[in-house]
A and B are shown apart, each in its own frame.
Chain A
Amino acid sequence: MDLTLRFFATFREIAGQKVVEKTYDDDLTIGGLLTALEAEYPEMQEELLIDGDIKPQINVLKNGREVLHMQGIDTQLEDGDTISLFPPVAGG
């Protein structure tokens, strides 16, 4: 399936891109996607997942909705989904 990945702030710098289109195997959850991203981008290691769950400091949105309000790490992904990843920023 094809996914659109959108990175913000520090994740944008690590990925070197704001938007990435990627093809994954058909049976994929948010947890699987984050694991794959940590493997692909060394600087994302330990930035996305902790103890098998999504790190509390980041936000993961599926089609504009926070996945914590769906099935969290087990949220199933479908062809055409847009996943957004962002950390809080504090600058003023």
Chain B
Amino acid sequence: MDNVLQIQNLSKSYGNKEALKDVSFDIPGGKIVGLLGPNGSGKITLIKTIMGLLQDYSGEVIIAGLKPGHEANKYISYLPDVSHIPTWFTVNRAIAFFVDFYEDFNVELTSSMLETMKIPCNKKIKTLSRGMQEKVNLSLVMGRQAKLYVLDEPIGAVDPASREFIIDTILRHFPAGSSILLSTHIIADIEPILDAAIFLKSGQIVICDEAEKIREERNVSLDQLFREVFRNVH
């Protein structure tokens, strides 16, 4: 399977502070990859670079054969860790926005997701609870038939019951051949769905392997390993 994302020797500095140091990894099609690390480990810098929100880096980033930018954005569906859809939009308006800008957006799929979650589409997003807003954002992002999904803390702001539902939504709706790069602190909940994991510490990759292999070799879960690796990192 072709690589959906290729990163080679990626480094990014803010003056003397190195946010990313010689980061290299590939994500082939059809994989769910966890991007794991504490605050300040470089996860956001890496995601911003993939999304074309940061420039002035060294190394190479290739998404579906393209460098980061507006052309590559046709193939990446991005869920940031902030509420990026204007909250004065109604849910229906947000759907119309995605229809207008993304050719791969599937209205029926999104509408069915929202219906399952019992989200009223005629209401303004700001009138919905935080958890519901997260679900709306996720439904819109997963409603695209993208090659790469970049999800930054998709379950960060929702209750444990909703987490299961969101994870199930992610699993059921991402197309075959596409991949997901999923950044989170809440590893225990997402561990069962991860095919591979990347541990990022102080801008460097400390572990990058298939999830099953990591568990077998070290005889611990990813969650336990995360706690061990990052125990003294604040």
Instruction: Tell whether A and B belong to one assembly.
Output: no
A residues in contact (CB < 8 Å) with B: none
B residues in contact (CB < 8 Å) with A: none
